[in-house]
């Protein structure tokens, strides 16, 4: 990371090299945002990377809050919610285990980090502001966490906002990230004279699909086809020229401009008189990513690609294992749409071997009662809800009092016809 040229504008590849795989051209990059162009790929892959960066990248966040004393004006639940959204450093998150994968009984140094907060306003007449910097990181045994390694872009007062951040610039894992000039971090609450706040936080690993507090990104802008040549966007307009009413995107300059329309009837798009190509597909995508500070923005991109590779690798590995063992992978896909021969032509279910009412079956998987199936015995046999009671189907006696064909009804008397 230290040898990375942050002024690099991307590689210029020839046509043969460009067609060999996706290409990333970084247009802008600082310690919180990254703006890049993803080209020579499909819309499906580009959108998969976007969704992975939004919800699949593992980070750390406060998951449990144990409040010992809270005399502030904020309720315990309100404080717990604010603490969960405090951005924490993800340096070394790959070495951290999920709680569900750890062998400990509750939490340990392998799956958790402890943050303690003990602040009180004893003598001040004005409000005492409590920031994220007041959270002290500790190990499970109570030892404080220190960072012995120097940071490349650190200054005497904290981070240098002008220099791009790297993983090495982040504090130890679980420590609050403070990118502001005063190194205070997020404001947690304010304490008046005589108020105090004492609590313990348990930091755990997770992904944004479980909760938004684990999201490494604040927002991701995604655009393709800025000239709307593909007609994927219907532009509402009052006149006949949609291009005149809709300003061009900032990304329009990165693609060939549109020629003047042959006529002023723009239809639903802004492509003018350009002939519409039904087979055209987008291949260049403009992505603008804003991080929360838990990791550098370029690390979010790298982690998103790595996470997507791992997910796809797991699928390929399972399919390869089935192929090596003699199974036909196409049959595996087909079983997702129709039951296989092991289901027994619709009779036996996967829930304990009971019979289904379809295709001649009678018994169900819910206790062995009889069902009014199609072809399995007389219509109106006993149901699964109590044994031999008759079903009311097709004129037979009801299950609410017995009786034969046309016998007693649930209301105590025979029908009038």
Query: What is the 3-state secondary structure of 251-271?
Result: HHHHCCCCCCCCCCCCCCCCC
- Domain limits for position 287: 15-55+219-308
Residue 375: inside a domain: no
pLDDT grade, residue 292 (50/70/90)?
A: very high
Q: What global pTM score does this model have?
A: 0.68
Element (H, E) at 113: strand 113-120
Last residue within a domain, chosen from 280, 308, 336: 308
Name which residue leads in pLDDT, 58 or 245.
Answer: 58
The arithmetic mean of pLDDT across residues 62-69, rounded, is 96
Q: Are residues 107 and 161 in the same domain?
A: yes
Q: Are residues 240 and 153 in the same domain?
A: no
Residue 113: inside a domain: yes
Q: Are residues 162 and 244 in the same domain?
A: no
DSSP state of 75: -
pLDDT grade, residue 170 (50/70/90)?
A: confident
Q: Residue 137: pLDDT above 80? A: yes
Report the chain's mean pLDDT, rounded to a whole number.
76
- The string of pLDDT tens digits covering residues 175-231 is 999 888 888 999 999 999 999 999 999 999 999 999 999 999 999 999 999 988 888
Residue 342: inside a domain: no
What is the reported pLDDT for 327? 66
Residue 26: inside a domain: yes
pLDDT grade, residue 261 (50/70/90)?
A: low
Which CATH number is 285's domain given?
Answer: 3.30.1360.10
Residue 329: inside a domain: no
Structural domain count of the chain? 2
Q: Are residues 203 and 64 in the same domain?
A: yes
The arithmetic mean of pLDDT across residues 236-247, rounded, is 80
The arithmetic mean of pLDDT across residues 287-295, rounded, is 95
Alpha carbons 227 and 224: distance in angstroms, whole number? 9
Q: Residue 361: pLDDT above 90? A: no
Q: Are residues 63 and 205 in the same domain?
A: yes
Please calculate the CA angle 353-355-361 and round it to the nearest 5 degrees: 150
Q: Are residues 46 and 67 in the same domain?
A: no
Signed CA dihedral, 11, 12, 14, 15: sign only: positive
- Dihedral, 345, 346, 352, 357 alpha carbons, nearest 10: -140
Last residue within a domain, chosen from 209, 238, 272: 209
Residue 409: inside a domain: no
pLDDT grade, residue 144 (50/70/90)?
A: confident
Q: Are residues 233 and 164 in the same domain?
A: no
- The string of pLDDT tens digits covering residues 388-397 is 444 444 444 4
Residue 316: inside a domain: no
Q: Which two structure tokens, joined as six digits, stand for 378?
A: 């007389």
Q: Are residues 271 and 137 in the same domain?
A: no
How far lies 354's CA from each of 342, 348, 386, 390, in Å?
A: 13, 6, 17, 21
* Per-residue buried b or exposed e for 217-244, using 16+ beta carbons within 10 Å of the residue's own CB: beebeeebbbbbbbbeeebebeeebbbe
What is the reported pLDDT for 64? 96
What is the reported pLDDT for 271? 52
Q: Residue 365: pLDDT above 60? A: no
- Report CA Rg, the chain: 32
**Total residues found in the chain within this entry:** 417
Residue 31: inside a domain: yes
* Per-residue buried b or exposed e for 10-21, using 16+ beta carbons within 10 Å of the residue's own CB: eeeeeeeeeeee
Q: Residue 16: pLDDT above 60? A: no
Q: Are residues 191 and 64 in the same domain?
A: yes
Alpha carbons 212 and 229: distance in angstroms, whole number? 35
DSSP state of 370: B
What is the reported pLDDT for 374? 45
What is the reported pLDDT for 171? 87
- Dihedral, 390, 392, 398, 403 alpha carbons, nearest 10: -70
Percentage of residues in the chain having pLDDT higher than 90: 47
Which CATH number is 120's domain given?
Answer: 2.170.120.12
Q: Are residues 32 and 81 in the same domain?
A: no
Q: Are residues 142 and 70 in the same domain?
A: yes
Q: Are residues 42 and 99 in the same domain?
A: no
Q: Residue 356: pLDDT above 60? A: no
* 79: number of Cβ within 10 Å: 20
What is the reported pLDDT for 1? 40
Last residue within a domain, chosen from 151, 184, 209: 209
- The string of pLDDT tens digits covering residues 79-101 is 999 999 999 999 999 999 999 99
| Cα atoms in the 13 Å half-sphere on the side-chain side of 9 | 1
Percentage of residues in the chain having pLDDT higher than 70: 65
């Amino acid at each position: 990371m230290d040898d990375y040229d942050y002024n690099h504008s991307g590689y210029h590849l020839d046509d043969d090299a460009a067609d060999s795989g996706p290409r990333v051209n970084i247009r802008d990059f600082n310690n919180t945002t990254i703006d890049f162009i993803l080209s020579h790929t499909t819309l499906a892959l580009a959108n998969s990377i976007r969704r992975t960066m939004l919800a699949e990248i593992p980070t750390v966040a406060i998951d449990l809050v144990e409040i010992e004393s809270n005399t502030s004006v904020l309720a315990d639940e309100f404080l717990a919610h604010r603490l969960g959204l405090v951005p924490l450093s993800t340096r070394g998150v790959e070495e951290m285990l999920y709680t569900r994968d750890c062998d400990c009984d509750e939490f340990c140094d392998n799956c958790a980090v402890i943050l303690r907060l003990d602040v009180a306003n004893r003598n001040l007449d004005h409000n005492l502001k409590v920031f994220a910097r007041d959270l002290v990181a500790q190990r499970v045994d109570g030892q404080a966490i220190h960072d012995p390694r120097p940071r490349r872009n650190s200054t005497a007062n904290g981070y240098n906002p002008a220099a791009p951040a790297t993983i090495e610039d982040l504090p130890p894992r679980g420590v609050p990230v403070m990118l502001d000039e005063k190194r205070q971090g997020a404001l947690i609450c304010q304490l008046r004279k005589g108020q105090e706040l004492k609590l313990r936080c348990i930091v755990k690993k997770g992904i944004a699909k479980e909760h938004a507090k684990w999201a490494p990104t604040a927002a991701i802008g995604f655009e393709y086809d800025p000239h709307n040549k593909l007609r994927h966007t219907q532009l509402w307009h009052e006149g006949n020229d949609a291009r005149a009413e809709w300003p061009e995107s900032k990304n329009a300059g990165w693609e060939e401009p549109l020629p003047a329309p042959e006529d002023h009837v723009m239809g639903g798009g802004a492509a003018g008189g350009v002939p519409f190509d039904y087979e055209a597909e987008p291949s260049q995508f403009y992505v603008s990513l804003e991080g929360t500070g838990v990791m550098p923005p370029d690390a979010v991109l790298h982690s998103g690609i790595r996470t997507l590779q791992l997910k796809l690798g797991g699928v390929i590995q399972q399919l390869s294992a089935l192929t090596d063992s003699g199974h036909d992978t196409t049959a595996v896909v087909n079983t997702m749409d129709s039951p296989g021969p092991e289901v027994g032509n619709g009779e036996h279910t996967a829930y304990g071997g009971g019979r289904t009412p379809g295709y001649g079956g009678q018994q169900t998987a819910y206790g062995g009662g009889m069902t009014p199936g199609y072809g399995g015995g007389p219509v109106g046999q006993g149901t699964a809800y109590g044994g031999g009671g008759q079903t009311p189907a097709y004129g037979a006696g009801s299950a609410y009092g017995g009786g034969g064909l046309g016998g007693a009804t649930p209301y105590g008397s025979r029908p009038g016809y």
